[in-house]
Amino acid sequence: MNCFLLPSTICSEINSVISTFWWGKDNGKTKLPWVAWNRLSLPKREGGLGFKDLQKFNKALLAKQAWRILKNPSSLLARLYKTLYYPTSSYLQALNGSAASYGWRSIQEGKTILQQGLRVRIGNGENTKIWEDPWLPCLPPRPAHGPILDEEMTVSDLWKPNIREWDPIVFDGVLNPEDQQLAKTLYLSKHAEEDTYVWAYTKDAQYTVHSGYWVTTHVDVQDNEIIQPPHGSVELKQKIWKLKVAPKIQHFLWRCLSDALSTATLLRTRNIPADPTCQRCCQEEETVNHILFTCTYAQMVWRCVNINFGSLLVSDNLEDNLNRLMELQKVQNIPLSNRLLPFWIMWRIWKSRNAFLFQKKDYDPACEARKGTYDVQEWIDTNATSPEANHDPPLSSGHSNEHTRSRQWIPPLAGWVKCNFDSGYVRGRSFTNTGWIVRDNRGKVIRFGGAKLQEAHSALQAEAMGLLHALQMIWTHGLRFVTFEGDNWELIKLVNTMGDHNEIGTLLVDIRFWMKKLPYMSLRHVNRERNAAADAIAIKASFLNSLSQTFTIPPQWLVNYLYYPYTI
């Protein structure tokens, strides 16, 4: 599937086989499919079950091959295809050709998916055409719109001569207001060389089959192709998949909400003649909520459970009852077994109902309650290694223990200095305030400063600009053996692992350029408490009269963060 395009008839037949297997067979006859296959193919977060439409999934896999050819033009396969099909043009401009191989035509199908999510990351801007290439950072990426003054005009033509900054006269005269706002969110790298293609639908700017499949089902979809989710609250279904219960219980709850159980009332909606009255109590219509909560048999089972649910389960609405059970999961002073027990009780009631109707067996309510209690305890014991099962709340990324939350500033090694940096971010503000402070191994302040940088469009971008400014200041002042510390874990990880990021990719290029100028530097993460001095300087930087200032003697407001046995 990841090399060749499968015929649509084969994909349809495989989808049919999977659907038949899912709903099951009885005496060789396919059972009633309660939910359409295209609805089951919706992701779980959208109310479906996450089955794949094989034809679209096939194209998403082929798009991975197209991505590899685009990003690795020196590979053997890419060079072979270039020689055969696009010797004088780029891969994105390549056509099928009159006698193309089936492999090439298959990858070309994947390329159509790839082109819906490609964006040009601006480097020198010389090869990106304003009106043709998708360079604006929106979803899906697109070129600029408006009256075309010059078809060959590139992004670099919008800059000041020899400076990677927007020329206000040309910029305002060429782009419409909407495109101007989008273009201003781009950070123009001072050191990036070539313009490159990135994938707009992942955080790390790399194509994945998962994101490609999402594009095939969500981007550029016609109104008549929009798939409505199955019946029931999508938000409630999302909570179901987060429950720490057996998968069979999760799927049972999903079917309850999706009207995908063979109750008498639902059978009648499918034009199947059935008595709508509950065969057990003969008092009300047999709905899912009635079977599980309001039927006299169900109420007897609930009373046999040694837990006082109070007025939790008195509603005639199934979603209300399930929502109350979901809220119960948040009550930490209730044992885990008691919080999860209601879902196993619902399962036992449903199984008992089926045994009553189809096998003429009438199980004792107390026995069913005991079975449910045994089942949930067995499930918890089986999964006893998880923090939840042991009643221990999980630690969040290892930063919540006493040691890591310490306010104690740790001095660098002798002969080294430490630079703490931080930035502030306010959405819509025309500048980004940042601060940095350098101390030696005795805690003495060597230098500190603040700056007003260009507008940031996220907290991560603000922190990245703060790190870049700190690197530049350290190099300018001749410091070389430096440990940098910041409190944004995502940024520190990106820089240290040489990762990429869709939003700050060009910023990372400049950061790494300056890091090469400081070969004896290191970058570490600290909690916010240990970074309080840099944070205080960043706050004060908002009130600077100039764009950047550097100081050597700390004022009184900063001293309070410094001289408390290396505490900041």
Per-residue pLDDT tens for 106-118? 999 999 999 999 9
pLDDT greater than 70 at residue 567: no
Q: What is the mean pLDDT of residues 199-223?
A: 91
What pLDDT score does 545 carry? 85
Cβ contact 55:14 at 8 Å: no
pLDDT (average), residues 229-239: 94
- In tens, the pLDDT along 353-385 reads 999 999 999 999 999 999 999 999 999 999 875
Bigger pLDDT: 493 vs 395:
493
| pLDDT tier for residue 227 given thresholds of 50, 70 and 90 | confident
To 10 degrees, the CA torsion angle through 390, 392, 395, 400? -160
**Average per-residue pLDDT in the chain?**
91
CA-CA distance, 355 to 291, in Å (whole number)? 13
Residue 110: the pLDDT is 96
Environment class of 341 (CB within 10 Å of its CB; exposed 0-12, middle 13-18, buried 19+): buried
pLDDT of residue 253: 97
pLDDT reported for residue 98: 81
pLDDT confidence bin for 393, thresholds 50/70/90: very low
Asked whether residue 539 carries a pLDDT value surpassing 80, the answer given is yes
What percent of the chain is modeled with pLDDT above 90?
Answer: 79
Residue 560 has a pLDDT of 83
User: Does residue 563 carry a pLDDT above 80?
Assistant: no
d(CA 4, CA 538): 55
Per-residue model confidence (pLDDT) at position 221: 74
CB proximity list for 391: less than 8 A, separation 6 or greater: 335, 336
pLDDT tens sequence across 264-316: 999 999 888 889 999 999 999 999 999 999 999 999 999 998 776 655 667 88
Q: For the segment 47-75, what is each residue's pLDDT rounded down to a tens digit?
A: 999 999 999 999 999 999 999 999 999 99
Residue 408 gets which letter from DSSP? B
Dist. CA 224–CA 334, nearest whole Å? 48
Token duo for residue 244: 């720490």
Confidence of residue 231 (pLDDT cuts 50, 70, 90): very high
Structure tokens at 131: 């009106």
Higher pLDDT, 239 or 563: 239
pLDDT at position 312 is 60
Is 394's pLDDT higher than 50? no
pLDDT of residue 25: 75
Question: Please, what are the domains in the chain?
Answer: 8-114 (no CATH), 118-200 (no CATH), 234-382 (no CATH), 417-559 (3.30.420.10)
Cβ atoms of residues 141 and 200 within 8 Å: yes
Closest by alpha carbon to 121, among 106, 136, 142? 136
Banded pLDDT at 398 (limits 50, 70, 90): very low
Interstrand relation of 548-551 and 445-454 (parallel, antiparallel or unpaired): antiparallel
Cα 24 to Cα 30, 35, 255: the distances in Å are 6, 13, 14
Centroid of chain to Cα 211: 10
Which secondary-structure segment (H or E) carries 489? helix 489-496
> Which amino acid makes up residue 466?
G
The H-or-E segment that residue 25 falls in is: strand 25-26
Q: What is the pLDDT of residue 562?
A: 84
Task: Give per-residue pLDDT as tens, 505-519.
Answer: 999 999 999 999 999
What is the pLDDT at residue 389?
A: 45
At 223 the pLDDT is 63
pLDDT exceeds cutoff 70 at 387? no
Query: Rounded CA gap, 376 and 472, in Å?
Result: 59
The span from the CA of 20 to the CA of 290, in Å, is 29
Instruction: Report d(CA 380, CA 376) in Å as an integer.
Output: 6
pLDDT score of 236 more than 90: yes
Residue type, 391: H
Q: Report whether 321 contacts 328 (CB < 8 A).
A: no
Q: Would you say residue 503 has pLDDT above 60?
A: yes
